[in-house]
Amino acid sequence: GTRPLDPPVPAGTADLTLRRGAARVLIRNWAGASTVPSRTLYPHQWSWDSAFVAIGLRHLSPRRAQRELETLLGAQWEDGRVPHIVFNPAVPLGAYFPSPDFWRSSQAGAAAGAPAAPETSGIVQPPVHALAAWLVHEADPAESVRRGFLARLYPRLAAWHRYLTTARDLGGAGLAAVVHPWEPGMDNSPCWDGPLSRITPADPASFRRADLDHGDADDRPTDVDYGRYVRLAADYRDRGYADSDHAFAVEDPCVNALLIVSEHALARIAAETGADPLVHERRAGQLTDALVGRLWDADAGLFLCRDLVGGGLVRERSVAGLVPLIVPGLPEDIVRTLLGTLDGPHFRAADTGLVASYALSGRAFDRTRYWRGPAWFNTAWLIGRGLRLHGADDRAERLRTAFLAAAGTSGFAEYVDPVTGEGRGTRDFAWTAALTLDLLA
């Protein structure tokens, strides 16, 4: 209780401190034309990080948020793919692995239309960009129109979605497939254990991990996993980044849910710029049907990944299977089941605050190892949006409170222990700070 002599604490002081801290992270991580996820561990531009960053940056500077997305889409390949990393030529090669001399985009990617500069990776990440572009536009429509922001971005975003729904429709049912564990952004999720077990790891002597210079080995993927990541990426590169003969191909519910939400956003962007919104609404509807038809599993109580090489659904409960809560127009029984799974014995979100990346009850659950258990802020933000969409405001508010508390006490950690809330991974992590700003706005 408050004692009479305690100085009064003005309302909102904690929020103000948090907002200042978050803004400081985004200012420090700004590299001139885009934001680095982390000054130490990730010193280049990452695709879905930039989308989340733009969603937060719009509250500080809509102009800078526009720039963030323009820089990323400026590195788009002619086949429409948006690379998962855009390399900063000023950063030494040894600072991050795999570096530009591994991907060799400007040479190996020539057939797929990789730009001559900048150097990029050749794989992709989840398509959050059209959603981000729309939210950035909404933050300052006058400035957006003045700069022709949406008009310039629209054809690039449309080409990006076209790439995903054509070249990456490897299952033939309309969903976008990922061809490397780095693509869905959840690198070492237990969902990939089965599909990855068929891949022969690259010789450990053929590469040097840079992540262990900055990250704790217990928090990061294992060496065997890294060997497999390297093998898959090198094989893709050696095929000229052609989308055929993939040894790893998975339909992931988070990637496809984000594609659907971005397709809805693209419809709004189209309408705003005088293009046809209906093609995008129609595609969003088709993708939603395909998502439900191919990846929903009522017994598991959430969406699952589909392994296109081995065949069948991957029976692992990952946070990726809860993210489709953000999809408008899901059947009501599915929404009800997802809400039950979120607070039920597998994820226990009501007790833990944030949402674990993998079921606490799962065979591979690991509290500290990256995407095998720790709770992440971007997935919490997405699920929070889904909860509001479906009218579960109390739960959304509970998640928001837990998010802000964990972001503040952890120093904007990359992820937290899902049971204790203790910060893990790198600190001053850009999307944690950006989404904090968004939740405070």
- Length of the chain in terms of residues written: 441
Contact 89, 115 (CB under 8 A): no
Report CA dihedral (285, 289, 294, 296) to the nearest 10 degrees: 110
Q: What is the closest distance, in whole angstroms, from the C-beta atom of residue 48 to ligand 2M8 in the complex?
A: 6
182 binds ligand 2M8 (CB under 6 A): yes
Cα Dmax for the chain: 73
Q: Which is nearer to ligand 2M8, 211 or 428 (CB)?
A: 211
Closest contact distance (angstroms) between CB of 99 and ligand 2M8 is 12
Q: Nearer to ligand 2M8 by C-beta: 261 or 290? A: 261
> Minimum CB separation from ligand 2M8 for residue 120, in Å?
12
User: To the nearest whole angstrom, how small is the minimum distance from the Cβ of residue 414 to ligand 2M8?
Assistant: 7
308-315 CB contacts, 8 Å cutoff, 24+ apart: 308/170, 308/171, 308/177, 308/249, 308/250, 308/251, 309/195, 309/198, 309/246, 309/247, 309/248, 309/249, 310/194, 310/195, 310/198, 314/191, 314/194, 314/195, 314/250
177 or 267: CB nearest ligand 2M8: 177
Q: Does the CA dihedral 325-331-337-340 come out positive or negative?
A: positive
Q: Between residues 48 and 134, which has the closer beta carbon with respect to ligand 2M8?
A: 48
Contact between 185 and ligand 2M8 per CB under 6 A: yes
For 358-406, where are the E strands, in sequence order? 375-376
Question: Segment contacting ligand 2M8 (CB under 6 A): 12-20, 182-190, 338-346, 387-395?
Answer: 182-190
Q: x/- binding map, residues 64-93, to ligand 2M8, per CB under 6 A?
A: --------------------x---------
Here the tokens at position 206 are 């053929």
Task: Please identify the residue of the shown chain whose CB is closest to the bound ligand 2M8.
Answer: 185
Q: Pick between residue 47 and residue 337 the one whose CB is nearest to ligand 2M8.
A: 47
Active site residue 414: yes
Instruction: Using the Cα atoms of residue 318, residue 320, residue 321 and residue 323 in order, give the sign of their dihedral.
Output: positive
For the question of residue 332 being annotated catalytic, the response is no
Using rule CB under 6 A, residue 183 touches ligand 2M8 = no
Q: Provide the minimum distance between the beta carbon of 94 and ligand 2M8 in the complex, in angstroms, as a whole number.
A: 14
**Which tokens go with 228?**
């497999």
Q: Do 86 and 100 form a contact (C-beta atoms < 8 A)? A: no
Total residues interacting with ligand 2M8, rule: CB under 6 A: 10
The Cα–Cα gap between 110 and 241 comes to 9
Here the tokens at position 187 are: 């690198």
Active-site choice (414, 417, 428, 438): 414
Which residue number, 296 or 377, has a Cβ lying nearer to ligand 2M8?
Answer: 377
The answer to the question of residue 321 lying near ligand 2M8 (CB under 6 A) is: no
Q: Which of 68, 119, 183, 187 is catalytic?
A: 187
Q: Which residues lie across from 424 on neighbouring strands?
A: 415
Contacts to ligand 2M8 from residues 33-62, by CB under 6 A: 37, 42, 46, 48-49
Region of 12-20, 180-188, 190-198, 237-245 interacting with ligand 2M8 (CB under 6 A): 180-188
Question: What is d(CA 183, CA 130) in angstroms, rounded to the nearest whole number?
Answer: 17
In the complex, least distance from residue 187 CB atom to ligand 2M8, rounded to whole angstroms: 5
Which residues are the active-site residues? 187, 414
Which residues sit at the interface with ligand 2M8, rule CB under 6 A? Answer: 37, 42, 46, 48-49, 84, 182, 185, 187, 211
